[in-house]
A and B are shown apart, each in its own frame.
Chain A
Amino acid sequence: GQNIDQPTEMTATEGAIVQINCTYQTSGFNGLFWYQQHAGEAPTFLSYNVLDGLEEKGRFSSFLSRSKGYSYLLLKELQMKDSASYLCAVNGQNFVFGPGTRLSVLP
């Protein structure tokens, strides 16, 4: 089967850096996506990784290690508007979303 784990909740302070982890198990792998979802709204695409390493996109970066079944999303210079849920999704034997991590950014 396919399984994805993420921490349920995280809290960080405005201006800080936070790392949101995603671990997965899948028998095939065609890429991993990160999405941001504000409460009651639709998810929006943040990043895509298919090869090992770090992809940087402004304040957000995403890392992938295929051998470890591990990815993280790194958010720098946190702002209040970054308070949201962050979902990783694995395109493997099936396309599956993780449960999401709810991030609260405090002043």
Chain B
Amino acid sequence: DGGITQSPKYLFRKEGQNVTLSCEQNLNHDAMYWYRQDPGQGLRLIYYSQIVNDFQKGDIAEGYSVSREKKESFPLTVTSAQKNPTAFYLCASSIQGLPYSNQPQHFGDGTRLSIL
């Protein structure tokens, strides 16, 4: 079955530590996205990538980094510079990317990150 796989489902970070969230898709989609969701709030865009080896900052990129070395993979690193990382992180993909895409985004099941 085609889809988006995020791992791990739950992740704990110690102070001063970088952690990496995995996102893999086998839908052959060109575009991939990372969102952060805080309790009772909507999704906020962290980074997105339209094609391999290219990515753009979203609204809240500070304290995060990404890479897109393969079409299938778009890992997100939460660095120690992100002072409030506790949130639900969602990865998504779509056939084509922003800004003119009329294609829906398909989401993974998310990773819950907490501070120890």
Contact check, B59 vs A94: say whether CB atoms are below 8 A apart: yes
User: Which residues from chain B contact A30 at a C-beta distance below 8 Å?
Assistant: 99-102
| Mask: chain B, 38-81; 1 = CB below 8 Å from A; 0 = not | 00011111001000000000110000000000000000000000
Measured between beta carbons, the chain B residues less than 8 angstroms from A96 are 45, 59
Interface of B is mostly: loop
Contact B109 A43 (CB under 8 A): no
- Contact between chains at B98 and A100 (CB < 8 Å): no
1/0 per position for A7-35, CB-CB distance to B under 8 A? Answer: 00000000000000000000010110100
Are A42 and B108 in contact, with the CB atoms below 8 A? yes
Majority DSSP secondary structure for residues of A touching B: strand
Nearest CB of B to A92, in Å: 8
Are B102 and A31 in contact (CB-based, < 8 A)?
A: yes
Contact across chains for B102 and A95 when beta carbons are under 8 A apart: no
**Distance to closest chain B CB from A49 (angstroms):** 10
A-B contact sample (19 more), CB < 8 A, given A33-B104, A91-B99, A94-B58? A30-B101, A30-B102, A42-B90, A43-B107, A44-B107, A45-B104, A45-B105, A48-B104, A50-B102, A87-B43, A89-B43, A94-B45, A94-B59, A95-B45, A96-B45, A96-B59, A97-B42, A98-B42, A100-B42
| Residue contacts A-B, CB under 8 angstroms, 30 given | A28-B99, A30-B100, A30-B101, A31-B102, A41-B109, A41-B110, A42-B108, A42-B110, A43-B43, A45-B104, A45-B105, A45-B106, A50-B102, A87-B42, A87-B43, A91-B99, A91-B101, A94-B45, A94-B59, A95-B48, A95-B98, A96-B45, A96-B59, A97-B35, A97-B43, A97-B45, A98-B42, A99-B42, A100-B41, A100-B42
Which B residues fall within an 8 A CB radius of A?
35, 41-45, 48, 58-59, 90, 98-102, 104-110
